[in-house]
Structure formats: C-alpha cells, structure tokens
Amino acid sequence: MKNTLLSFTLTLALAASAYGQYTVAIDSTAGGAFDNIANPASFNTLSEGATTSATFTENSFLATSFLNSTVGNIDVWKVGVANTAINTSAAGAWSGSRNAQTFTLNVVGTPTSQGGKPGPRWRYIRSFNNGQGDQGGWNDITEGANTLTITGGLSFDRYVGFQIAGTMNIDSFSHDYGSGVDTYSISAVPEPSSYALLAGLFAGTYMMVRRRAVS
C-alpha cells in the first residue's frame, strides 16, 4: 500500500509539472488532402506530439516561394494535380478535388505583412480541366478564424489550395474537402489543479494509513 500510494503521488506530480506544454495533433483521412499534397518534398510536416509552443507559423507547414516584386514571398498550400486532361489518377490526380473546398486558419494574435509588402492576406488557387490555373481575389487575414472556399461539384480532378502573403501565428488549420476534413492543431495539456488535488488526496490517504499502522 505504501509503495503504491507513493508511486501514484509521484506520477501525478510529474503530470502536473508538465503543465505549460502543448500537444500537436494531426487528424486526417486516408486518401484525403494530406495524402495528396502536390510536390510533397516542398512542404514541411509538423511533428505530432509534445511541443513547448502554443502556435505554429504559416511557413512551418506551407511551401514558401517568391511570387513577384509587388507581393514578395508567399506561402502556398496546394493539393492535387493540374487536371485529368494531362494528369491521370495513376499520375496522382485526386478525386476529392472535385468537391467544394473550405480552408480554415485560426490566427492567434495580430498577423502582420511580410517585408513591408501588402498583407496579411490570402487567396485561393485552383486549376481548370484544360490545365489553366486560376486565383481568387485577395482576402484580409485577421485574428481569429479565417475561411476561404472554392466551389465544387465538378466532373474533373484539379489542384486546389491557397496562397498566403503575410506572417502569423496559428493554432489550427483545417482543409474540408467534402468527403473528409484534415486538420493540424495545437492544444494545451490539462491544467495541474486536478492533478495537484488528486495528489493531495492520495498523500493524505497515505498518511492516514501510516498512522493507523503505527498505532
């Protein structure tokens, strides 16, 4: 009994000391967006598990490239290939791209422009069945939830995604493609108050048992 109580108390104490840490969670569907990133080698991958940071930056999971002298660098999310006219399913075309797409970023704090360029802002990108690319208009990115959508219900595969011009801290990103939702997120570990309470209760129980044994 003595060893059991001491071991449990120590375990709870260690759990409480972990407060202030965070956990990265990656939730995805097999064959979904995260499995069909265009040019995977150019994209960063967040590692699932413990982290000391409450947020991640846009360039920690997006591919960075130079667009032009007016916009400067952009961070890009791109899923699927151009179109089925020149890219077959065997070459990596993604049927989920036919559906409507919704991208959501939850921004923590105030996002800023990058290098004095216009922003912070983002826009969707997509391709048509003839292989031609298309971009939507720029939308401002603000603190809190930001959402972009692309219409769907198509008979051909395409690439879909978005471009970001700006820098920001994010605690969750999701890509909803109709048949599934793939998500990166960071959350805090439980507060230590519950651990401390249980540790105190078990320590008190141990003292009571010890006193009875002595008496």
Helix and strand tally (H, E) in the chain? Answer: 2, 13
Q: What does the alpha-carbon distance between residue 103 and residue 181 come to, in Å, rounded to a whole number?
A: 10
**Strands 139-140, 22-27: pairing kind:** unpaired
Same domain assignment for residues 203 and 167: no
Domain count, the chain: 2
pLDDT digits (tens, 9 = 90+) for 155-209: 888 999 999 999 999 999 999 999 999 999 999 987 655 555 555 555 555 555 5
Q: What is the pLDDT of residue 16?
A: 45
Same domain assignment for residues 137 and 211: no
Same domain assignment for residues 4 and 35: no
Same domain assignment for residues 96 and 54: yes
pLDDT digits (tens, 9 = 90+) for 112-136: 998 889 999 999 999 998 888 999 9
Name the DSSP letter for residue 84: T
**Tokens, residue 51:** 């982290």
**Tokens, residue 200:** 């105190």
**Tokens, residue 161:** 């995604």
Same domain assignment for residues 6 and 33: no
Q: Which of 183, 202, 170, 204 is nearest to 15 (CA)?
A: 202
By residue range, what is the domain housing residue 54? 21-189
The CA dihedral of 125, 141, 105, 129, to the nearest 10 degrees, is -10
